[in-house]
Chains A and B, each alone.
Chain A
Amino acid sequence: MWKWLHPYAKPERSYQLASTLLPWFSVLSITTLLIGIIWALGFAPVDYQQGESYRIIYVHVPAATLSMSVYMAMATAALVSMVWQLKLADAAAAAMAPIGAVLTTIALITGAAWGKPMWGTWWVWDARLTSELILLFLYLGIIALHNAFDDKVLAGRAAGILTLVGVVNIPIIKYSVEWWNTLHQGATISKLDKPSMSTDMLLPLLVNILGFVLMIGAITLIRFRNEVIARNAMRPWVKELIAKELK
Chain B
Amino acid sequence: MNQPLSYWQTFSIVLMRDLKVAVRNKGDVFNPLIFFVIVITLFPLGIGPEGNTLTRIAPGIIWVAALLSALLSLERLFKNDYSDGSLEQMLLSPQPLFIMVFAKVLAHWILTGIPIILAAPLLALLLQLETNAYGAMLATLALGTPILSLIGAIGVALTVGIKKGGVLLSLLILPLYIPVLIFATGAIEAAALGLPYSGHLAIIAALLVGALTLAPFAIGAALRVSTN
Contacts and interface: CB of A to CB of B under 8 A. Distances in A.
Contacts of A88: none
Interface in A90-142: 134, 137-138, 140-141
A114 to B, nearest CB: 24
A173 B175 CA distance: 9
Contacts of A138: 175
Interface residues of B, number: 27
A145 B218 contact: no
Query: 3 closest Cβ contacts across the A-B interface?
Result: A176-B179, A137-B175, A141-B172
B202 interface: no
A161 B207 contact: no
Nearest to A138: B175
Interface string B183-202: 10010000000000000000
A84 interface: no
Contacts, number: 69
B182 interface: yes
A176 B171 contact: no
Contact of A162 (B172, B174, B207, B226): B172
Nearest to A180: B182
User: Which of A138, A144, A165, A179 is the most central at the interface, judged by chain B CB atoms within 10 Å of its CB?
Assistant: A165
B178 interface: yes
A22 B162 CA distance: 36
Give the interface SS of chain A, mostly helix, strand, loop or mixed: helix
Interface string A156-186: 0110011011101100110011011000000
A148 B162 contact: yes
Interface in B194-228: 207, 210, 214, 218, 221-222, 225-226, 228
A148 B166 CA distance: 12
Given A148-B159, A176-B179, 6 more contacts: A82-B221, A137-B175, A154-B225, A161-B218, A161-B221, A173-B175
